[in-house]
Structure 1
Amino acid sequence: MPWLVVGLWAVLLAVAGPFAAKLGDVQHDRATDYLPASADSTRVAKLQDRLPGGERTELVLVYHRASGLTTADRATAGRQLARIAHRHTLTGPTPHGIPSADGTTLMYPVTSNEPGTDENRRNTFVDDVRQLAHDQGGLSVRVGGPAALATDASGVYASLGGPLLYTTVAVVAILLILIYRSPLLWLVPLVVAALADFLARAAAYGLNQAFGTTVSGQSAGIMTILVFGAGTDYALLLVSRYREELRRHETPYDAMRAALRGCGPAVLASSGTVAAGLLCLLAADLNSSRGMGPLGTVGVLCALAAMLTLLPAVLVLLGRRVFWPLVPAHGSTPKARRSLFAAMGSSAGRRPLTVLASGAALLGALALGTLNLPGSLKQLDTFVHRPESVTAMETVAKAYPERSAQPIEILTPAGRADATLAVVEGTRGVAEARQGRTGGGWTEITVTASAPPQSAAETATIEALRHRLPGSRVGGPSAQQLDLKDTSARDRLVVVPIVLLSVLLILIVLLRSLLAPLLLVAAVIAVWGAALGLGGLAFGPLFGFPGTDPGLGLLSFVFLVALGVDYGIFLMHRMREESVKGTEPAAAALIALRTTGGVIASAGLVLAATFAVLTNMGLVPLVELGFVIAVGVLLDTFLVRTYLVTSASVALGRRVWWPGRLSRPVPDTDRAPEPVGV
């Protein structure tokens, strides 16, 4: 049987290989892959793709000398622009330099719509322009604008794949070596997780081809994190139970069957809860969030399949020697020692209400840090290390305070183009407006605002244009950021209740109780608030981030609720096992903590470490998401599960299983003796 399972996996991976290799081909990080599906700015971006010449590549060349531009500097700029125009097909009027009032800066807007494929064409054009427009004799030359910002962002996303995978594998390997203290055992779940990730990539490609699921650098990276994090968690639980059963059963095969019967339901339930929580993201309007739901679910399910089939088969084939040098012999008894979690359980058991009140007060105090969260993150602030495009736009903002270098794009019905242009020119905050391309019944109008990008004044101009132009679409980079913020707020109101309801229903069915699920859900909500509060204390003061990603609240909530309940299921499932045997509620809670506490702590460390890998990536939204989830998992593992849930269970007694059968008193004749030493 184990050899058959391994053989089936070999066939499955061979079939999946060609599809896994194609995932990178369908991974895109265009604006429309992250924008709200129904927003004006998204529709503008899609309509622009269908105009004559397709998607435009808009750049800003910034020539700057702090002491003031010389005649030679202007001549250098002219020669470089001539070379760019000779090599590439530029659209619109011939680029002309716009001098700053202080004479230090010369700005050239450059636009191209050369034929090619979206990101590849854009990136090639931007890179070539950067080679042609270079510093010379103290004159600094920087390439900025929407296309340059997008190219720099896609460069960061493209670099995530390798470093993210290698770093995740290294972190998980180190932790497994420390946990298992075996030269071989740590390698088995790690290899199985890597194979699960390979299968998940093939499945993600299939979702894209079958249903058009958006695959972005962010969603693909987080899918890998989930495969290794959740997969390793399931492996830790299974291996721990398998080690116990090897002492009770003579053959590894029988021990594994007993281990799967014992922990299999908890693993299935926990993975189902995570998958259900992630699938709730399908209700989001934000493309990046909605695409992350199916990909995250695929990752968790592939990890589950690998850890409940391939891992057991490999462990059985390797036999007891895989645990060397700490081999669990048949009939042996593990050394009796007072564990850290037994000590924690004792304190929670002696003074449950005091522990519960203290822990709740601590979480509440940490949650107050949310009041210190910085405002919404601006596009120029999304990079951890400032690339050339950002420095270019910062130079423009200082040199041209009276105008924006980031266009507002309007698509209006072609028959109303002149009337629309007149309304636009008469709108407060508009410095310049001109008609662009016409096609498919639409005309493009490019607007230059008189205020800096994403300032309050520019936002007011965008909102005024939308109000005064019914039937037209208003987009562009600043409008996209505005729509991202508004849609993120809408998604929180819609998705959060769906996540809570779906998770609660699963827990009610699994635990056959109403009070225990409510306790677990309340605990993970408290963890989420405390983790965001720690983010508020760290993002600005420690990391120097000037803003918070609009999608942070929703994504961190979904992940922390789904993954936090995951650990709660491990604990409560074991507690229920003991209660079914007739063990007194307080003793059952403490036994569950003693037997699963080490596994939950190990799993929490692994999961937190895998998400912490995101804090080493080059984009602020990923760093913020990784930080909040990592500290949230640690809070959940070492405070909520070990102290608060245990103390609440002790305090509630049988009522924790209300209104199920276990909540009713057991006659003295049916009551099992209380375990000694708990």
Structure 2
Amino acid sequence: MTAIWRFISGRRTAWAVLAGTIVAVGLLFALLPATKSAGFPSTGLPDSSQAAQVDAALAKFPSAEQTAAVVVWSRDGKALTAADREAITARSAALGTESTAPRATAPRFSDDGTAAISVVPLDKSTVEKDVGTAADALRAVAAKDLPSGLNSYLTGAVGFQSDISNAFAGADVKLLLVTVIVVAVLLIVTYRSPILWIVPLAVVGTADGLAGIVAGALAKPLGVTIDASVSGILSVLVFGAGTNYALLLVARYREELLRTQDRSAAMLTAVKSAGPAIAASGGTVALSLVTLLFAELAGNRALGFACAVGVVVAIAFALLVLPAALVVCGRGLFWPFVPRVHEHAASPQRAGFWTRLGRGVSRRPAVITGVSLVGVGALSLGLIGFSVGLSQTEQLLGNPESVVAQKIVDRSFSAGLTSQTVVLAPDAVAVDAAKLASATDGVDSVRPGESANGLTRLEVSLAAAPGSDAAFATITKLRSGFADASGAASRTIVGGTDATALDTRQASQRDQDLIIPIILVIVFVILALLLRSLVAPVLLIASVLATFFASLGASNWIFQHLLGFPAFNTNVILFAFLFLVALGVDYNIFLTTRAREERILHGTTEGMIRALASTGGVITSAGILLAAVFAVLGVLPVVALTQIGVIVCIGVLLDTLVVRTVLVPALVFLTGDSFWWPSRAPRDSSTAEPVHVPAS
């Protein structure tokens, strides 16, 4: 590996590396097939779930190619006038011309006389080709020539799909633009140079573009669907991780430029010193993401696959392309603070902030540890009473049309009227199955439908709001009732939108129970191999877990009391754990690998103080930048992405500013050489004298 890094950092060979990179990236962009991410996330349930079985069976029914839109008319809760009713009847007839079943669009008026509803059957393939166009056409017809004060709204399957697609419309461009601005500003502040920030930003930006192309090209033949939410998280992760690695390498390179005049030699030393830590950190993130391939939900597998590809690309660019680019640009890149070799570089210098902090922690490690744990524990108390799972109307920020319409339906009709619950029963027991469903608590109505392939479809309307805990409880009762029935009725299965949401929640919980332990094992093994210790990995993982629970608690309080989110979205906890543990271990790797390096000459205590002094500034800058980048996810009006962004932002800041800064050093000072067990203490570490370190 040294030979490769020597080639990359050579004055002449660095130019060859950059030229080869430009050619290779250009060819990949030109030759790899461009893929377009799906407009909205798919369920991706395993075949074992009843909802997936119902969908598979319905695909063979005559009506398989049909979907439905729901149009709602309301006068903001006031009673509809005679003119309103006449106009609604006319609009419903006009909607029939857009429908595959014109007579089915006849309006239904609420008992309280404040709203009307029309169900519009549509061709499924036509809607899926362009759900936005189909939705706009229906909205235009429904709103035409309405009396003043009477409003129309689109909801149901088509309405929600349209609003979700609109939420992700231009997501890639919006996220990329905001991310680039945030990264550029923070790099300028960090480097205090008007030009240095351009190089790492250009390298990481190229890595991001290439990662999206490569992930998309590999995903298609593997049967992985990358939707807009996955693409957004991929871009944020590559920018965040890639910039973190760039900050660490540039900081070590600048440190070496103060010691040697030859910038190629300085880069060689920097990449040899920082490279293993960057590779180990990135490898931890990539392997943690790969564990998602064991998930049941296709969406989880897609995220793991795409982001693992992205992190590998980010590592490659950080260790191969960025060093060459920095060498080619020379020292002047750091202007106006150009690092120069000082004649008296070895003379003692005044201790900087991080050195003073390290020495302060070393004097009272037990007190610092206790106070830190109390603070982290207090934040974790925010998890009291937390819940997981948002209803359909709670998935998007703001008041999209489909959500407004659903609230009107909940208020004036049966809450589950616009939600589709489908029961498939064997033909011979269809009547008995309908009676059993009607007798189930929470079921509002049951309507027999078509039959095909020995199964009869029953349309079931629930009394509860779509995606709510009450709806899930009714689905569970239906399934239990059919499973306990005798004879052929026990083969009846329940599917539809609420059943799909329930099965998704349960599959997500199974994924979480399987993947979290695997991630912890991977992190432990990597830390043990890298640090050659069995104690250090346990303490470092414990510190990261404390950060995770504290950030969840703080976020849950913010969601419930400030942002109005009643619960965590289904996959948010798993994704937050993955990112916080993997990325949190990054900073511990950067700190402890340097501490291990310094320990050889200066002993455990002084080695940790010197490591904190050397890495404190750059790791803090990296943490603030990473937190800001993940916060960018909040620019999209999707609750799940906002929650991930807030949790990771809080967690990274907590880990960077508190846990890694004071708690981890305090744990090292408390345990002493035992922190590195079973590695032996350096022969002369016990007699090592404190050495002054450069001001940070």
Please indicate the TM-score interval, normalised by the length of the shorter structure. over 0.9
Question: Match of 1:577?
Answer: 597
Q: CA deviation at 1:599?
A: 0.9
SS in 2 for 1:540: helix
Aligned-partner Cα distance in 2 for 1:53–1:252: 70
Question: Match of 1:97?
Answer: 107
8 Å Cα contact 1:355/1:644 also seen in 2: yes
Quick check: 1:128 aligned with 2:147?
Answer: no
Aligned-partner Cα distance in 2 for 1:600–1:15: 35
Residue number among 512, 520, 523 corresponding to 2:543 in the alignment: 523
Question: Match of 2:403?
Answer: 390
The one-letter amino acid of 1:666's match is R
Aligned-partner Cα distance in 2 for 1:300–1:583: 34
Q: CA deviation at 1:606?
A: 0.8
Quick check: 1:657 aligned with 2:676?
Answer: yes
Aligned-partner Cα distance in 1 for 2:157–2:174: 26
Please say which of residues 615-624 and 172-181 is displaced more in the overlay. 615-624
Question: Match of 1:445?
Answer: 458
Q: CA deviation at 1:206?
A: 2.2
Residues 220-369 of structure 1: pairs in structure 2 closer than 5 A:
220-331=231-342, 336-369=349-382
Question: Match of 2:189?
Answer: 178
Aligned-partner Cα distance in 2 for 1:32–1:140: 32
SS in 2 for 1:675: coil
Aligned-partner Cα distance in 1 for 2:649–2:455: 47
Residue number among 624, 627, 639 corresponding to 1:620 in the alignment: 639
Aligned-partner Cα distance in 1 for 2:69–2:154: 7
Structure 1: which 5+ residue stretches go unaligned?
A: none
The one-letter amino acid of 1:132's match is V
8 Å Cα contact 1:80/1:132 also seen in 2: yes
Residues 489-508 of structure 1: pairs in structure 2 closer than 5 A:
489-508=509-528
Structure 2: which 5+ residue stretches go unaligned?
A: 1-12, 483-489
Q: CA deviation at 1:628?
A: 0.6
8 Å Cα contact 2:41/2:229 also seen in 1: no
Question: Match of 1:56?
Answer: 66
The one-letter amino acid of 1:384's match is L
Residues 659-678 of structure 1: pairs in structure 2 closer than 5 A:
659-662=678-681, 666=683, 672-676=688-692
8 Å Cα contact 1:219/1:295 also seen in 2: yes
Question: Match of 2:609?
Answer: 590
The one-letter amino acid of 2:691's match is P
Aligned-partner Cα distance in 2 for 1:37–1:560: 31
Q: How many residues align?
A: 670
Please say which of residues 166-175 and 444-453 is displaced more in the overlay. 444-453
User: Deviations for 1:483-502, whole angstroms, at most 9, x for unmatched residues?
Assistant: 23322322222111111111
Q: CA deviation at 1:455?
A: 4.4
Q: CA deviation at 1:523?
A: 0.5
Structure 1 residues 114 and 479: CA distance shift in structure 2, 3 A: closer
8 Å Cα contact 2:390/2:467 also seen in 1: no
Quick check: 1:22 aligned with 2:42?
Answer: no
Residue number among 584, 589, 602 corresponding to 2:621 in the alignment: 602
Question: Match of 1:459?
Answer: 472
SS in 1 for 2:526: helix
8 Å Cα contact 1:48/1:55 also seen in 2: no
8 Å Cα contact 1:247/1:333 also seen in 2: no
Q: CA deviation at 1:583?
A: 1.5
Residue number among 116, 128, 141 corresponding to 1:119 in the alignment: 128
Q: CA deviation at 1:165?
A: 0.8
Please say which of residues 287-296 and 163-172 is displaced more in the overlay. 287-296
The one-letter amino acid of 2:111's match is A
Residues 140-179 of structure 1: pairs in structure 2 closer than 5 A:
140-179=151-190
Aligned-partner Cα distance in 1 for 2:47–2:305: 16
Question: Match of 1:7?
Answer: 19
Q: CA deviation at 1:301?
A: 0.9
SS in 2 for 1:8: helix
Q: CA deviation at 1:83?
A: 2.2
User: Deviations for 1:63-89, whole angstroms, at most 9, x for unmatched residues?
Assistant: 112332223222212222222222342
Aligned-partner Cα distance in 1 for 2:413–2:343: 78
The one-letter amino acid of 2:683's match is V
The one-letter amino acid of 2:679's match is G
Q: CA deviation at 1:143?
A: 1.0
Q: CA deviation at 1:50?
A: 4.7
Q: CA deviation at 1:579?
A: 1.7
User: Deviations for 1:348-386, whole angstroms, at most 9, x for unmatched residues?
Assistant: 111111101110111011101111535532110111111
User: Deviations for 1:545-593, whole angstroms, at most 9, x for unmatched residues?
Assistant: 222212222111111000000110000100111123x321100010000
Aligned-partner Cα distance in 2 for 1:490–1:507: 27
The one-letter amino acid of 1:112's match is L
8 Å Cα contact 2:422/2:459 also seen in 1: yes
SS in 1 for 2:466: coil
Aligned-partner Cα distance in 2 for 1:276–1:367: 27
Structure 1 residues 587 and 55: CA distance shift in structure 2, 3 A: farther
Aligned-partner Cα distance in 2 for 1:147–1:487: 25
Q: CA deviation at 1:179?
A: 0.4
Computed over aligned residues only, the root mean square deviation of the Cα atoms, in angstroms, reads: 2.3
Please say which of residues 639-648 and 252-261 is displaced more in the overlay. 252-261
Question: Match of 2:486?
Answer: none
Aligned-partner Cα distance in 2 for 1:195–1:332: 39
Aligned-partner Cα distance in 1 for 2:449–2:613: 70
Aligned-partner Cα distance in 2 for 1:82–1:552: 43
Structure 1 residues 140 and 234: CA distance shift in structure 2, 3 A: same
Aligned-partner Cα distance in 2 for 1:439–1:190: 58
% identity of equivalent residues: 38
User: Deviations for 1:95-114, whole angstroms, at most 9, x for unmatched residues?
Assistant: 22222111111111222125
Aligned-partner Cα distance in 2 for 1:19–1:85: 47
| Superposed structure 1 runs of 4+ greater than 6 Å apart | none
Aligned-partner Cα distance in 2 for 1:182–1:415: 78
Structure 1 residues 30 and 434: CA distance shift in structure 2, 3 A: farther
Aligned-partner Cα distance in 2 for 1:377–1:67: 29
8 Å Cα contact 1:20/1:198 also seen in 2: no
Question: Match of 2:498?
Answer: 478
Q: CA deviation at 1:461?
A: 2.4
Structure 1 residues 455 and 565: CA distance shift in structure 2, 3 A: closer
SS in 2 for 1:22: coil
Quick check: 1:187 aligned with 2:187?
Answer: no
The one-letter amino acid of 1:56's match is Q
The one-letter amino acid of 2:132's match is N
TM-score, length-scaled by structure 1: 0.94
Please say which of residues 544-553 and 425-434 is displaced more in the overlay. 425-434
Please say which of residues 331-340 and 454-463 is displaced more in the overlay. 331-340
The one-letter amino acid of 2:314's match is A
Residues 542-561 of structure 1: pairs in structure 2 closer than 5 A:
542-561=562-581
Question: Match of 2:412?
Answer: 399
Structure 1 residues 156 and 55: CA distance shift in structure 2, 3 A: farther
Question: Match of 1:538?
Answer: 558
Aligned-partner Cα distance in 2 for 1:529–1:359: 14
